[in-house]
Structures are given as structure tokens and as C-alpha cells.
Amino acid sequence: MDKIKLIVTLALVLLVGIFAGSLGTRIYLNHQLDGSRAGRSHSADDRVKNIMKKITVDLNLDTGQQAEIRKIVTMTEAKAAGVRASYEPRLEKVYDRNFELIKEKLNDEQKTRLQARQERFSRRFISYYFRLLNTAQNGLPDAATLKDRLNLDPAQLSQVAAILKDQKNKRALIIGKYEKMDHTDLVAVNSELADVEKATMERLSDVLTEKQMARYRDEQ
């Protein structure tokens, strides 16, 4: 019974965290628009610490449980960051359109002031986007974790490890390249990352059985 309570409570906490992250994105952007620092999102590490603090007390977790559950929470936060990052380019277009609509109602002096605010907003938005991407890197699968879940044989384990390492390295190069740019096209970033993901899935499908591939997709 205690084990069931642990699983149910943890699931609820994680779901709340994910939805709060989505809501937090909108709150973050709204506060950035008016120049406030109050609504800035906490880091992934901070969110993990807060979740662990709550469930450690609520569930009276022992040291061993805390270590294992922290891994799950950290992985979930990383995967949630990847989901949020995937829709940021579309959200950026929504806010860009918002600024354009506002400009239509302003005089030249007001447009100049708004342009400066938009540029600050854009820098903060892009910074937030890359924080999400870098956090998401920690949620990428690794062969050691997948070994038992997919029942990989030694040959598969070696090949899968190489494929996943290559995926992570390529993603890191893309993120690093665009993060250094003054004006970043978020759609282009997502497109290149999607190409890496597609290539990774194709390579894995040559190594894994259909059943293993189906299970791998469920893990994502």
C-alpha cells in the first residue's frame, strides 16, 4: 500500500511540475514584457530540489529512496524542458506578431521605445530557450539505462551506445553554434535538432528489433 501511495504521489507531483512549467513559460514572458524580474523561471536544479524537498517530507523517504527518486525527477524535468523548447519557436512568432500589432497604434517616438523593449524581450526569450535546450540534453537516453529495459545483447549495446553518443554530440554542436549568434532563428534550431532525431531513429531501427524500437519510443 505504501508503495502504491509513493508511486501515485510522485506521479501527481511530476505532472503538476510539468503543467506548472508550461504555465510558467507564459508568466515568464508576460513579466519580461513589462520589464519585471519577478516572474523569471527557476532553474531546473531549483525545481528538482523543490520537488524532492516536498516529497521527501510528505512520503518520509529514506536516503536510498531519495537518491533513486531524484534520478527520476531530474530525468522528467529534462524531458519536460525538451517539450517546452519544441514549441518556443511558435511562441516567439506569436509575440513578434503582438509587437507588430502594438506598433500600428503608436507614434514614431513610441515605436522607438517599444523597439528597444522588444529587443530586450527577444534576448531574454532566446536565453530562456537555450536554457531549456541545455536542460533537455540531460534527458537524452543512454545505453546503460536502456540495456535492461530493451534487453539489449552485447553487440546491440555497443552500437546503441555509439549512436546515442553521436546524437548527443551533434545536438550539443547545434545548440552551441546557434547560442553564440546575435540573431538566432529558433525555427532553424528546432529543424536541425529534428533532423538529428530523425537520423538517430533511423540508425537505431537498423540495430533494434521492431519490439525494441516500439519500447524505445515509449521511453521517450
CB neighbour list of residue 215: distance below 8 Å, 6 or more residues apart: 149, 150
The confidence band for 67, taking pLDDT boundaries of 50, 70 and 90, is very high
- Determine the pLDDT at residue 9: 52
**Domain shared by 5 and 105, yes or no:** yes
**Domain shared by 131 and 204, yes or no:** no
Mean pLDDT of the residues in the chain: 84
Last residue of a domain, one of 139, 161, 184: 139
Last residue of a domain, one of 116, 139, 162: 139
Whether the CB-CB separation of 206 and 156 falls below 8 Å is answered with: no
Q: Each residue of 153-183: pLDDT tens digit?
A: 999 999 999 999 999 999 999 999 999 998 8
The whole-angstrom separation of Cα 39 and Cα 19 is 16
**Domain shared by 190 and 117, yes or no:** no
The confidence band for 11, taking pLDDT boundaries of 50, 70 and 90, is low
Last residue of a domain, one of 92, 108, 139: 139
**Domain shared by 177 and 146, yes or no:** yes
The whole-angstrom separation of Cα 22 and Cα 154 is 40
pTM for the full model?
0.74
**Domain shared by 109 and 172, yes or no:** no
Mean pLDDT for 137-142 is: 88
Does the pLDDT value for residue 137 go beyond 70? Answer: yes
